A = this chain, B = another copy of it.
Amino acid sequence: MSPQDAAAETALTGRGEQTRRLILETALRLFKERGYDETTMRLIAETAGVSLGNAYYYFRSKEHLIQAYYARSNEEHVAALETALGRERTLAGRLRVFIRTKIDTSEAYHRFAGQLFRTAADPESPLNPFSDASSAVREAAIGVLARVVDGSDAKVPADLRAELPRLLWMWEMGVILYWIHDRSEGRARTRKLADRTAELVAKLVAIASNPLMRPLRKMALELIEDVR
């Protein structure tokens, strides 16, 4: 069993676990401070006080250090979301809170995320959000959206309700894509996009839930299922 696999398990006590944590925390700090490209593996090793080879012993590649970022970013988002959601019950309101907290908790990593995205976009990369390797993180994020929908007072037909979290996840990915490219002060443009698409999406859900829209809705949902 490689240390990479072992890390996925319990052990905070393991022999090398100390070293592993040290390397990981050092890397995340440097990524945040200096960005991805500027943080070389040599620098991470040096700063952590271990050898280059040793860093590679614990992390198969530089990319593997990023998995930790995903997980951490998700945790921070969920925590912020729980408190911010309060007793908001409209779908539009809940979606707005969801996407705003996502933007807020990601802000510190904006620069890093841009460079990261380059790697994540590679279809061969396990970091790519559509990959099998990312399915755990992806399904977790979709699960969060399912709770956002289920906690709302929106009346959504069962067929749409089943697919809606996945569709909303794609909306989230779209907003993130925009955010990554957003150079505006305080990410103002992304915030505008986020708020207004949250409203728009809620309206579309309402329209799509109308019985008159059933044929079109069926067509779209079948397509999604087929193509997934």
| Residues of A that sit less than 8 Å from B by CB | 114-115, 117-125, 128, 130, 178, 180-181, 189, 192-193, 196-197, 199-200, 203, 207, 216, 219-220, 223, 226-227
Contacts and interface: CB of A to CB of B under 8 A. Distances in A.
Copies in the complex: 2
Nearest to A124: B114
Contacts of A227: 178, 189, 192-193, 196
A85 to B, nearest CB: 24
Nearest to A220: B200
Given A123-B180, A207-B216, 5 more contacts: A118-B122, A118-B125, A193-B223, A197-B223, A200-B216
Nearest to A114: B123
A178 B220 CA distance: 16
Nearest to A131: B181
Contacts of A114: 122-124
Nearest to A196: B223
Contacts of A223: 193, 196-197, 200
B216 A203 contact: yes
Contacts of A119: 118
A178 B192 CA distance: 27
17 contacts: A117-B123, A118-B118, A118-B119, A118-B121, A118-B122, A120-B121, A123-B181, A130-B181, A178-B227, A189-B227, A192-B227, A193-B227, A196-B227, A199-B219, A200-B216, A200-B219, A200-B223
Nearest to A119: B118
Contacts of A178: 227
A130 B121 CA distance: 15
A123 B220 CA distance: 31
A128 B114 CA distance: 12
